[in-house]
Amino acid sequence: MNTVNIKINGYSYTMKHGITILDASFETMKFQREYLQQPIPTLYYLKGVVDVDDSGVCVVEVDGKLVNASTTRIHEGMEIQTRSEAVMGARREALAKILAIHNKSCVYCMRSTQCELQNLLHEYGFTDEEELPMSSIQPLDLSSVVLVRDNNKCIRCKRCVNVCAKVQAVSAIAATGTGLDTSIEPASPKGLAAASCVNCGQCVAVCPVGALTEKLQWELVKEAIADPDKFVVVQVAPAVRAALGESFEFPVGVDTEGRIAGALRRLGFDKVFDTKVAADLTIIEEANELVERVKNHGVLPMLTSCCPGWVKYAEHFYPDMLDNLSTCKSPHTMFGALIKSWYAEKMGIPKEKIVTVSVMPCTAKKFEITRPDECGAGVPDVDYVITTNELGKMLKDAEIQLEAISPSERFDEPLGDGTGAGVIFGVTGGVMEAALRTAVEKLTGKPLEKLEFVDVRGMNGIKEAAYELNGTTVKVAVASGLANANALLTRIKNGEADYQFVEVMACPGGCVNGGGQPHQLAAMRALQDIPAMRAAALYRSDDRSAVRKSHDNPALNKIYAEYIGEPGGETAHKLFHTSYIMR
């Protein structure tokens, strides 16, 4: 490998030839003592999404000249200053220009304290007196049930446009104009809801400021808890436990499962359940459906349906493949239907008095609960969805500190104990692995010797595997990120691939990287594989679990015996299965 010797702020480094100054600054993290204490700032750059940062803040000084660190490549003998007077002045000037077009209502902004612009304004000493008037005020786009677009806060970085087009293959939003005159607009003049947006929230996850946020429901949840006539049941998705800690300064990848159960109890929920149990329920139903399709020559490949971002994408872009989608609802809506039927009857509580709340890593689930076929018990399966981010806000609002709660608290019985298969639902390949643990035993009639299906693990956008079962080869594939799903489905439609079972998750890496997860700064995202670190927490949890196959969940088996009957039977269909719409 060709290397060059450079100096950054007087420290010597040997670096790979041809990388940018910005990449070299990230590389300094590998040097124990001489790493850059203050990273070169960025507002537009985001690894894998936007390469060039022309916001004006990503500048450094080389040979007395200011250069853009995201476009200038290092060469032998280069001497770089990242914090000279000229550099700091140029960055301040650039920030002032951005501030002039930015609504400064930080006090009320969802992204306050997690805003990349706000962080830089503090660092570069901006004060209230320097605020400049906005040239024009644009109306908010409130058309979506999931997202709020506030162009008054937009700093024109185009991260959202790139992630929506390149990573998600949707293009529901686009940029018009150039420089600071750029405007970000939805593909439909009627607003985002009328565009083909699938509600994945990846644009929210990459937005450096509060110009794109999830539509909040946590105040409504607070009202329900305070209402003495309501019985409020909350459930928590697997991926939330791998990320909520980040909102409380825990390192990335710490599993906060017990602390979350305790924190929700302190918020006043009447019952605190675990969506892991519902993931097991989904697997029992989905594996049964797969086995039926394989045995009875049904429509194959069967495509998973637990990701509402992916389901809406299929409805928009692959309407001719809707029969391939499993009819299973996603875990949290199955859980809602179970709570408002079996649990309501068991506890003697009228289903109309029960309010079900889902804490999810996902923005698309806010849309999912509004779909017409999500009322298994005759009332909405789930009443409110709040994201991991919203739960963080809600806990802080109630002065509940996650670190002060014991990690050994537990979810409530009888729906508080899921299996290891249920917990890995939160990561790409997890649904496939969980389903295989059940489907293979059903198809072969023999217990599995090894539960890990390592071929479908990892953060690759597309993964494939083949398994020999009773003399038949079963081919499977996993895609995360909708551009990857699009590539995979194109191959299937063109007859270039013949899988029996395909898992798709809209978010790259799966739900651990969902649009409602805590925000991480661009420098952190460049240095660390954050989805992989969160995923590792879920795999550790699976390893520790006493029960690791969904069909061995004792609580669920009892409910099937007492109430549901057979998987895929009449009651199961009424409560847990759904239908799709050509859009």
Distance CA 220, CA 333 (A): 19
Could you say whether residue 184 binds ligand SF4 (CB under 6 A)?
yes
Q: Taking the complex as a whole, how short is the minimal distance between the CB of residue 311 and ligand SF4, in angstroms?
A: 9
C-alpha distance across the termini of the chain, in Å? 51
- Give residues 478-507 in contact with ligand SF4 (rule: CB under 6 A): 505-507
* Options 49, 57, 163, 221; binder of ligand SF4; rule CB under 6 A: 163
Q: Which of 15, 22, 260, 511 binds ligand SF4 (CB under 6 A)?
A: 511
Q: Is the CB of residue 23 less than 8 Å from the CB of residue 29?
A: no
Nearest distance from C-beta of residue 438 to ligand SF4, angstroms? 20
Sole binder of ligand SF4 in the list 6, 115, 203, 432 (CB under 6 A) = 203
Would you say 168 or 545 has its CB closer to ligand SF4? Answer: 168
CA-based angle 236:476:508, to the nearest 5? 45
When asked if residue 4 is in the footprint of ligand SF4 (CB under 6 A), the reply is no
Give min distance, CB of 157 to ligand SF4, in A.
4
161 is written with which tokens?
């446009």
Structure token pair of residue 349: 């509580």
- Residue 580 C-beta: closest distance to ligand SF4, Å: 15
Give min distance, CB of 2 to ligand SF4, in A: 35
Q: What is the DSSP string of 219-275?
A: HHHHHHHH-TT-EEEEEE-HHHHTTGGGGGTPPTT---HHHHHHHHHHHT-SEEEEH
The region of 32-40, 153-161, 350-358, 468-476 touching ligand SF4 under the rule CB under 6 A is 153-161
CA 108 to CA 251: how far, in whole Å?
27
Q: How many residues make contact with ligand SF4 (CB under 6 A)?
A: 40
User: Contact between 157 and ligand SF4 (CB under 6 A)?
Assistant: yes
Stretch that binds ligand SF4, among 82-90, 195-203, 335-343, 438-446 (CB under 6 A): 195-203
Site mask for ligand SF4 (CB under 6 A), range 234-253, x = bound: --------------------
Q: CA 130, CA 505: separation in Å to the nearest integer?
A: 45
Write out the binding residues for ligand SF4, residues 71-130 only, by CB under 6 A: none
Shortest CB 538 distance to ligand SF4, Å: 13
Does 197 participate in binding ligand SF4 (rule CB under 6 A)?
yes
Q: How far is the CB of 554 from ligand SF4 (least distance, A)?
A: 27
| Spatial contact of 374 and 249, defined as CB atoms under 8 Å apart | no
**Least CB distance to ligand SF4 at residue 374 (A):** 14
Q: What is the DSSP letter of 31?
A: S
For residue 482, give Cα distances in angstroms to 70, 171, 578: 27, 11, 22
Give 149 or 271: the residue with its C-beta nearer to ligand SF4.
149
Q: How far, in Å, are 76, 114, 133, 157 from residue 191 at the CA level?
A: 51, 26, 26, 20
The answer to whether 200 contacts ligand SF4 (rule: CB under 6 A) is yes
- Token digits for 558? 């009892």
Please report how close the Cβ of residue 175 comes to ligand SF4 at its closest, in angstroms: 7
Neighbours of 23 (CB within 10 A): 17
Interface with ligand SF4 by CB under 6 A: which range of 34-42, 207-215, 228-236, 259-267?
207-215
Rounded to the nearest 5 degrees, what angle is found at the Cα of 180, between the Cα atoms of 175 and 184?
A: 25
One DSSP character per residue, 146-210 reads SEEE-GGG-----HHHHIIIIITS---EEEESSGGG-EEEESSTT-GGGTT-----HHHHH-SSS
Among 364, 377, 382, 523, binds ligand SF4 (CB under 6 A): 364
> Is residue 510 involved in binding ligand SF4 (CB under 6 A)?
yes
Residues 6+ apart with CB under 8 A from 524: 252, 530
170 binds ligand SF4 (CB under 6 A): yes
- In the complex with ligand SF4, which residue's Cβ is closer, 199 or 256? 199
Site string for ligand SF4, 285-314 (x = CB under 6 A): ----------------------x-xx----
Six-digit token pair at 223? 């009202």
Stretch that binds ligand SF4, among 193-201, 252-260, 403-411, 470-478 (CB under 6 A): 193-201
Binds ligand SF4 (CB under 6 A): choice among 56, 430, 514, 567 = 514
- CA 137, 139, 145 angle in degrees (round to 5)? 150
Q: Which is nearer to ligand SF4, 303 or 307 (CB)?
A: 307
Q: In this structure, how many other beta carbons lie within 10 angstroms of the beta carbon of residue 273?
A: 27
* Token pair of 410 as six digits: 């537990």
Strands 231-236 and 212-214: unpaired
**Residue 116: which of 148, 142, 155, 86 has the closest Cα?**
155
Residue 199 binds ligand SF4, judged by CB under 6 A: yes
Q: Is 207 in the site for ligand SF4 (CB under 6 A)?
A: yes
Residue 168, interface with ligand SF4 (CB under 6 A)?
yes
Beta-ladder partners of 214: 147
In three-state form (DSSP H/G/I as H, E/B as E, the rest C), the secondary structure along 196-214 is CCCCCCHHHHHCCCCCEEE
Q: With respect to ligand SF4, which residue has the nearer C-beta, 3 or 183? A: 183
Map the footprint of ligand SF4 across residues 344-363, applying CB under 6 A.
361-362
Q: Per 3-state DSSP, what percentage of the chain is helix, strand, and coil (rounded to 5)?
A: 45, 15, 40
The reply to whether 382 sits near ligand SF4 by the rule CB under 6 A is: no
Binding mask 391-410 toward ligand SF4 (x if CB under 6 A, else -) reads --------------------
Smallest gap, in angstroms, from Cβ of residue 34 to ligand SF4?
A: 33
Query: Interface with ligand SF4 includes 154 (CB under 6 A)?
Result: yes
Q: Which is nearer to ligand SF4, 202 or 247 (CB)?
A: 202
Residues across the chain: 583
Residue 294 or residue 538: which is nearer to ligand SF4 going by CB?
Answer: 538
Q: What is the CA radius of gyration of the chain?
A: 25
Contacting positions for ligand SF4 (CB under 6 A):
147, 154-160, 163-164, 168, 170, 172-173, 184, 197-203, 206-209, 211-212, 307, 309-310, 361-362, 364, 505-507, 510-511, 514
